[in-house]
Structure 1
Amino acid sequence: MKQVLITGGGGFLAAWIARRLAARGTRLRLFDVPGAPRTASDIVLPRHASQLDWRQGDIRSADDVRAAMEGCDAVIHLAGVLTPACSANPVRGAEINLIGSLHVFDAARAQGLSKVVYASSAGVYGPAHSRHPEPATHYGAFKLAVEGAARAYWNEHRIASTGFRPFVIYGPGRETGVSAGPSLACRAAVRGIPYTIGFTGACGLVYVDDVAEAFENALFAPAEGAKVFNLVGELHTIDAVIAEIRRQVPDADLRAEGPPLTIAADVTEEGPDELLAAGRRSTLAEGIAATLTHYRSLEESA
């Protein structure tokens, strides 16, 4: 591949995917809104930051998306706003998460691309159903609509797609969103300050580099149809997360409060093995250790 476009390029997950692609020599174009923070990319891409082609624009603008995709021969679509923003302004959430995704598929068609790799979400599941998507939030509803649109683009235009539904992604640089609590708890433990994770209960926890590997493999794998995969990781309670952080940082002052996430805890992971055959799932202990190491290195260099 000559050049890959990553929408939402200033974000946490984009940085980890870009790190993997840059390491294999792939040219990258990162697209995000003007003024979007590039903190995550600066954290995990220090060796490659100067090699990235940054483009500014609005995912809600078809012209901006087409211009960003010009000259690219692959796309990973990550741009979007999370649950709180969608709940606060559903129309804006739909414009970004749904209409923006349609712009990406249309631009891919115009550019002659054969597939789109994109981020859906475990938010397509509600709290009561673990087999059949029944979202309980605007965010989940928009993501489910994108999955349906992806099927339509395959049926009508033969644009293949691979979508991923990550559950709680954690790891270095994950510092925004309701489910950032496990990562922020690691940062607080390293800094020696109290922290309260804002939700309780059990959830799938998947380490960020495992998610990045899935996107990388999907990008280079042959694609046909419109496939969507759950990326659950390991199922743990938030109490177990806190216990693991305390095992590695015994004096960590952590607690959790608030309702569980609005996603069924027992959703299964089926299918991703075909895209993760070259890798493995990180255990909670391994993921926590890597996250703590990252934040320790930041404190030491500050």
Structure 2
Amino acid sequence: ALGLFFLHLLLFGIHEAGWLPFPMPESLFGHPLHVLYTPFSAILVAEVYLLVYHLPSSFARSMGKQLEIVSLIEIRSVFKDLSVLQESDGSSLIWPWQDPFFPHIVGAVLLGASLVAFYRILPRRMARIEDHELARFIRFKRHVAALLGVALALIAIWSFGQWCLDILHHAQEGTGTLLDPNAIFYHDFFTVLIFVDVILLVTSLRYLSNYGLILRNSGFVVATIILRLSFGMEGWGAVAHEVLAALLALSLLLLQAGLQWGDRRFGPEDTGFSASE
């Protein structure tokens, strides 16, 4: 991330000095703070890797990583919108909510607050009795995560190639708008992630008899779909869908905790739930 930051900073300096023989997109070189866009992109790549890493071990922590990724995308979008920053000349009053980056700031703060509550409620992992069927399910999840990692690499290579071709076309023509990196990569990645979550959910029904876990994991799939839909939106529409997904995940975690409390309080024979996870 640090190396990419200095590389972008160097290219920005060369661009400002007019030493480049071709035009560069203003969305990347129109403002000094656009340089911060690059290291945030590298951090996001690391977060996506951690999402794939946590997928075999915990459905809930994978959901938390999805919310972390979206919140960081919102922060990164602030730097992208600085090129259209509205500056007041003193004769007119500009309110903060009139700036194009304001929805991204609100979205990042609300998602961050939701994550604080999410990880606060998320129960710590407890030692489980080894079971042959459960071990098979864990191995299956690891294989699925490995395939998701391969898909992630292929999507990243394809998206980066498309983005580079877009920049090359811009340099040759000197016109046009760059593709949104969120629409290029994360749109496709979350689409694949939805199918992976559904596969894991359906497979888990063979091994889980706890209603709270089944309800929670099913709701997490819905939350992932809502996050996926937010990438096709802008402004407050995207923020509303992201916050809805976060609140849904948080509510399902609370419901699971309540059902587990009832299981411990009355016993599985009274509630109809199995004590196994």
Structure with higher strand content: 1
TM-score of the aligned structures, taking structure 1 as reference length: 0.25
TM-score when normalising by structure 2? 0.27
Greater share of helix residues, 1 or 2?
2
Rg: which structure is higher? Answer: 2
